[in-house]
Amino acid sequence: MKSYMGSVKSKLRRTPRAARKPLKITKVARAGVPEWHPVQLNRAELHRIATRVLELSPARETEVEVTSSADALTRFANNTIHQNVAEEGLHISIRVAVDGRTARATTNRTDDEALGLALATAMQLAKFQLKNPNLPPMPGPVKPLPLKGRPRRPSLSRYFPKTAEMSPEDRARVVRGVVGLAAGLGQVAAGIFSNGFSETILVNSRGLAMEHAESKCEFSVTMMEENSSGWAKASSPDAGMLDPLALAERASDKARASRNQREVAPGHYTVILEPAAVLDLAGFLFYDFAGTAVADQRSCLTGRMGKPLFGENITLWDDVYHSLQTGAPFDGEGMARQRVLLVENGLPRNLVYARATARKMKARPTGHGFALPNEYGEAPMNLVFAGGDSSVEEMIRTTERGILVTRLWYIREVEPYEKIMTGMTRDGTFLVENGAVVCGIRNFRFNQSLIAMLCNVEALSPAVRASGEESFDMVVPAMKVRDFHFTEVTRF
C-alpha cells in the first residue's frame, strides 16, 4: 500500500501557511477513515433522544418524532457520472399541546440544550396559538397493523440491509453497465441510481410508540439519440427487485423507435397511457379524497360522493399494506393507517380522515392525518388502482388510430372541479395505426379533464408499481383511453 503518511507530509509542504493554520490533524484524518461508512439503523439512539425530550418537556402532552436517514444518489449524463452525492441526517420534531393549543418545533441537534430550546420554542409558539376546541388529545398506545412481507419484526418488513448499504462503487458499477450499453449503440445515457434508508420513531407522553424503517432504491434513465429519446424508471425498497440494465434497454428501444419523428396534428385521440403516464395524471386526484378538502369545498368530490363519477371499470383504494406499496403503517399522529376503498366501480365511496377532521365531519378516523398542526388535514398517500386483464401490446393491437404515451411532463391543474390538467408528452410518444406502432411523433400538449378521462377508459392492464416525476409512486395499470384531448404540438 502506498504510504499514506508520506503523501500527507508532501501535501502539507505544498499547503500555503494561511490555509493550513487552523488545521489540527486528528487521528481520523491522519490514520485514514474507512472509504465507505454506511450509517446503520440505530433504534436505541432514536428512542434515547425521544425519551429525553419527554423527560425535559414541561407540557401536559408532548409528541416526538425522531427520524434518522441516509441517502445517496449517483447521477449521470452524457455517459458520465457528473454528480454523485450522499447525505446523512437526524430530524427531531417536537409537538406540544397545552390547553387546546398546539405548536411544533424542529431541530437536528441532540444535546440537552438544543432539545430544551426546541421544547421552549414549541411552548412559546403554542401560547400564541388560538384555543382549538376541536383539537383531540394525543392518542394513547396504538397497535400497528402488520405490513405484508418477510416474517420478521413488522417495523422492518420494508427494510433491506443490502439496499440501504449499497456503496458508491456498487452504484458506479451499475451506471458503467448502462453507459456502456448506450455508448455501444451510439446513444447517450442520462439518469440516476439512488439508495438509502430512513428510520422513524413516533412517541408521545400518553404512551404511544410507533416505529418504522424502510430502505429505498430508485433507478431512472433517459436514452437519447440525435433527435429522439426514451425513458424508463422504477423504485423499490429492495434493490434486488430492480433491473437497471433492462430498464435502460427499454429506454434505448424507445429512443431507437422514435427516430425522425413526424408531426401529427393535435386533436382528440385514443391514447394508450403506460403506467408512469397514468400515475402522473391520476396522482393529482390524491388530495381530493381528503375529508378536509371536501369540507373546504376545494375537492372535485364536493357534492359528488356516492354518485357515479368515473367509469365502472375504475376502482381505487388507499392501501399502505399492499405488497407493492411503501411507507409507514401509521400517520402523522401515530394512528394506524386503514385500508380505505375510495372508488368502487366508478362511485366515490369514502374519504380519508385525520382524527380532528373525523370529529368535525362525524366520521371515523382512517389514519391518514398529517403531522399537527397543519391546515390540510389528511390525504391518501398509498393509492392502488384495480387493474384489468389487458396489456399495452393488446391495447396497441386493438387500436385503429391512436397515440402511445410513455411519460407525461410538467402537469398542472388548470381547473380544479372538472380537474382539467395540462402537460406535455415526453421521451417516447408514438403514432399507432391499424394495430401497430407506426413511428415516433413530436410531443403534444394536452388539456384534459381527469374525471372525463377516467370515464373513457376502454382497457386496463394489471396494476404495477409505477414511478414518475409528478406524483409519488402508486400501483396503477396502463390504460387505453378514448377522446384524450391534445391541444398543441411542440417543436421536437
Partner 1 sequence: MHEYAESAIETARLRGARYADARVIDLRQRDISTKNGEVGALSESESRGIGVRVLVNGAWGFASTDRLTREGVQLCAAHAVAIARASARVKVHNVELAAEPPRVDTWQNPFVKDPFRVSVEQQIAVLLAADSEMRAVRGVTLAEGGMAFRRIEQFFVSSAGSRIHQRRVQSGAGIVANSFLNDEIQQRSYPNSFGGQHALEGYELVESLDLPAHARRIGEEAVALHSAAQCPEGKRTIILDGSQLGLQIHESIGHPIELDRVLGMEANYAGMSFLTTEKLRTLQYGTEIVNVVADARLQHGPGLGTFGYDDEGVPAQCTRIITDGLFTGYLSSRETAAAIGETRSSGSMRADGWNRLPMIRMTNISLLPGAWRLEDLIADTDDGIFMETNHSWSIDDRRYQFQFSTEIGWEIRNGRKTRMLKNCSYSGITTEFWSSCDAICSRDYWTLWGTPNCGKGQPAQTMGTGHGAAPSRFRDVRVGIAFSQ
Smallest gap from Cβ 95 to partner 1, in A, equals: 9
- Structure letter (DSSP) for residue 241: G
CB half-sphere exposure, 490, CA atoms < 13 A: 12
8 Å CB contact between 64 and 92: yes
| Segment 44 to 103, residues that bind partner 1, using CB under 8 A | 71-90, 102-103
359's CB contacts (< 8 A; 6+ apart) are 134, 136
Helix, strand, coil fractions of the chain, as percent rounded to 5: 25, 35, 40
- 15 binding partner 1? (CB under 8 A): yes
Nearer to partner 1, 35 or 400 (CB): 35
Exactly one of 414, 433, 435, 436 binds partner 1 (CB under 8 A); that residue is 414
- 261 binding partner 1? (CB under 8 A): no
Q: Is the peptide bond before 373 cis (omega within 30 degrees of 0)?
A: yes
Q: E strand or H helix at 52, and its extent?
A: helix 43-56
Nearest to 301 by CA among 380, 409, 396, 206: 380
Smallest gap from Cβ 1 to partner 1, in A, equals: 14
CA distance 410 to 416: 16
Q: Which residue stretch of 3-11, 153-161, 305-313, 384-392 sits at the interface with partner 1 (rule: CB under 8 A)?
A: 3-11
Smallest gap from Cβ 296 to partner 1, in A, equals: 5
- 107 binding partner 1? (CB under 8 A): yes
Helix (H), strand (E) counts: the chain: 13, 19
294: left (phi over 0), alpha (psi -120 to 50) or beta: alpha
- 361 binding partner 1? (CB under 8 A): no
| Segment 216 to 255, residues that bind partner 1, using CB under 8 A | 220-222, 224, 229, 231
Size of the site for partner 1 (CB under 8 A): 114
Q: Which residue stretch of 10-18, 319-327, 386-394, 472-480 sits at the interface with partner 1 (rule: CB under 8 A)?
A: 10-18
| Segment 329 to 358, residues that bind partner 1, using CB under 8 A | none
| Segment 451 to 490, residues that bind partner 1, using CB under 8 A | 469, 485, 487-490
For residue 188, give the C-alpha cell: 447517450
Nearer to partner 1, 188 or 314 (CB): 188
Exactly one of 313, 443, 461, 467 binds partner 1 (CB under 8 A); that residue is 443
Nearer to partner 1, 151 or 184 (CB): 184
Exactly one of 186, 297, 362, 434 binds partner 1 (CB under 8 A); that residue is 297
8 Å CB contact between 293 and 473: no
Nearer to partner 1, 24 or 362 (CB): 24
Smallest gap from Cβ 118 to partner 1, in A, equals: 8
Nearer to partner 1, 297 or 434 (CB): 297
**Interface map 369-408 toward partner 1 (x if CB under 8 A):** ----xxxx--------------------------------
| Segment 137 to 176, residues that bind partner 1, using CB under 8 A | 167-169, 171-173, 175-176
46's CB contacts (< 8 A; 6+ apart) are 66, 67, 68, 199, 200, 201, 211
Helix 43-56, helix 112-128: angle, nearest 10: 50
Exactly one of 302, 363, 398, 439 binds partner 1 (CB under 8 A); that residue is 302
Q: Please, is 76 exposed, middle or buried when counting C-beta atoms within 10 Å of its C-beta (0-12, 13-18, 19+)?
A: buried
